[in-house]
Amino acid sequence: MDKLAILGGTPIRKDYLPYGRQNIDEEDIKVIVDTLKSDYLTTGPKVKEFEEKIAKYVGAKYAVALSNGTAALHAACYAAGIGEGDEVITTPLTFAASANCVLYLGGTPVFADIDPKTYNIDVEDIERKITDKTKAIIPVDYTGQAVDLDKIMELAKKYNLIVIEDSAHAIGTEYKDKKVGSIADMTEFSFHPVKHITTGEGGVITTNDKDLYEKLILFRTHGITRDSDLMTDNNQGSWYYEQLDLGFNYRITDFQCALGISQLNKLDDFIHRRRELVNIYNDKLSKMDGVITPYESKDSNSSWHLYVIQLELEKFNGDRKEIFEALKAENIGVNVHYIPVHLHPYYKKLGYEKGLCPVAERVYEGIITLPLHPSMKNEDLDDVIMALEKVLDYYRK
């Protein structure tokens, strides 16, 4: 057997294969340059056009584009009326932004555990965690797999809660016969470069509710409006505007939205390629001893942001850390999604403790994210498989 790179052997790959990356072509570059030469750099016609196209793509009435996905979640929590004393239920197996957005408004994130098969939030545990202070649920479509939206929406109706779906991983994912973004009260997408399509930084909220839409628009620009339906005084001159509430500057630029439109045109091709790569991964890895491939719910057709395997650690001599570092030394860009949010020092300081979500904590110990992005070649994927075989054969008992 070849010596592991981490022990001084030759790595499987000469160059590093990242776990995710953007796919930018000449057309993308051209539309950005064209917009830079136009009259608008920040809010202009491209923002509106991007919003309309996103809304149409997911099948929602409205879309509001913001400076990033986290700002979008913050705006959604504001529109939902989250404030001091309110509890919002979310999953621990997510990026911290899914819970931080609640804290920004003085609310309290409450973590429900995950389902041991799908790794998405466990709907029964959501119901157990509901109190008379609960105001909203922020379920996350982890890796791109839709949460059980029918059950979550039913629960929300029963307890009068607002559902803000964090679909940062899931643009293009279908739940039953609808796209995510058209079902929850509000749905957030992110356009960070590792996500399906990018605007550099960027995010959007989609909704079918006009009131929520108006609140999102207000929050994006300082709480300021020129809308005569919303202002308290309509007898002023045309310079006049009013600040109705405390908002932020969460605007996205016109050239970012020009890029977003161009990227959106390619989204279905990107998703197609991601699904192709996942099929190859599933096929090769299901035969590999000690590796559990991702579970796929029949209600969700995932657009696959991440490909996360679970190691059966009892079958190996090394732990996840050793295996992870050995794969990285082979120049395979592995990652871990995610450190359960409640285990971060900041959250511990707020009083959250280990043991709160035992399933998520156990799942976290064995997960590894493998590279997945549409510009990956089949040969790149073969390198990942070879590196996994090399490393796992070394550590297997």
Ligand X SMILES: *Cc1c(COP(=O)(O)O)cnc(C)c1O
- The window from 93-101, 232-240, 249-257, 385-393 that contacts ligand X (CB under 6 A) reads 93-101
b/e 83-105 (16+ beta carbons within 10 angstroms → b):
eeebbbbbbbbbbbbbbbbbbbb
Rule CB under 6 A: which of 107-166 touch ligand X? 140, 166
Q: Is 70 one of the binding residues for ligand X (CB under 6 A)?
A: yes
Q: Are 91 and 121 a contacting pair, CB within 8 Å? A: yes
Q: Are 137 and 161 in contact (CB under 8 A)?
A: yes
The least CB distance from residue 343 to ligand X, in Å, is 16
SS3 140: strand
- Crossing angle of helices 267-285 and 378-395, in 10° steps, is 30
**Hey, which residues between 166 and 205 contact ligand X (CB under 6 A)?**
166, 168-169, 190, 192, 203
Specify whether 328 is catalytic: no
For ligand X, the closer of residues 71 and 212 by Cβ is 71
CA nearest neighbour of 145 among 321, 10, 274: 274
How many whole angstroms separate alpha carbon 19 and alpha carbon 389? Answer: 18
CB of 169 to ligand X, least distance (A): 6
Residue (204 or 291) nearer to ligand X, CB? 204
| Closer residue to ligand X (CB): 20 or 290 | 20
Closest CA relative to residue 170, chosen from 269, 301, 81, 264: 301
Give the SS3 label for residue 240. coil
State which residue, 143 or 225, has the beta carbon closest to ligand X: 143
The DSSP element (H or E) to which 369 belongs, if any, is strand 367-370
169 vs 179, beta carbon nearer ligand X:
169
Using CB under 6 A, which of the segments 12-20, 66-74, 76-84, 254-262 binds ligand X?
66-74
Helix (H) or strand (E) holding 126: helix 123-129
What are the distances in angstroms from CA 336 to CA 280, 333, 370? 21, 10, 9
**Which of 20, 69, 92, 260 touches ligand X by CB under 6 A?**
69
Strand-pair partners of 396: 316
Give the binding range for ligand X (CB under 6 A) out of 76-84, 90-98, 225-233, 312-320: 90-98
Least distance from ligand X to the Cβ atom of residue 191, Å: 7
> How many amino acids of this chain bind ligand X (CB under 6 A)?
14
Nearest-angstrom CA–CA distance, 152 and 338: 22
Catalytic residue among 179, 195, 215, 390: 195
Which of residues 57 and 394 has its CB atom nearest to ligand X in the complex?
57
Span from 39-47, 57-65, 89-97, 385-393 in contact with ligand X (CB under 6 A): 89-97
User: Closest separation between CB of residue 195 and ligand X, Å?
Assistant: 6
Helix (H) or strand (E) holding 389: helix 378-395
Nearer CB in complex with ligand X: 4/77: 77
Q: Which is nearer to ligand X, 23 or 98 (CB)?
A: 98
CB of 99: closest distance to ligand X in angstroms? 10
Cβ of residue 306: shortest distance to ligand X, in angstroms?
9
Of 97, 126, 147, 381, the residue at the interface with ligand X (CB under 6 A) is 97
Nearest-angstrom CA–CA distance, 374 and 376: 5
Per CB under 6 A, the list member of 22, 23, 91, 98 interacting with ligand X is 98
How far apart CA 178 and CA 196 sit, in angstroms, is 18
Q: Is 320 helix (H, G, I), strand (E, B) or coil?
A: helix
Q: Which stretch binds ligand X (CB under 6 A): 92-100, 111-119, 154-162, 365-373?
A: 92-100
C-alpha distances in angstroms, 127 versus 107, 137, 161, 252, 342? 19, 10, 11, 36, 19
> Which DSSP helix (H) or strand (E) runs through 285?
helix 267-285
Active site residues: 195
Which residues contribute to the site for ligand X (CB under 6 A)?
68-70, 94-95, 97-98, 140, 166, 168-169, 190, 192, 203
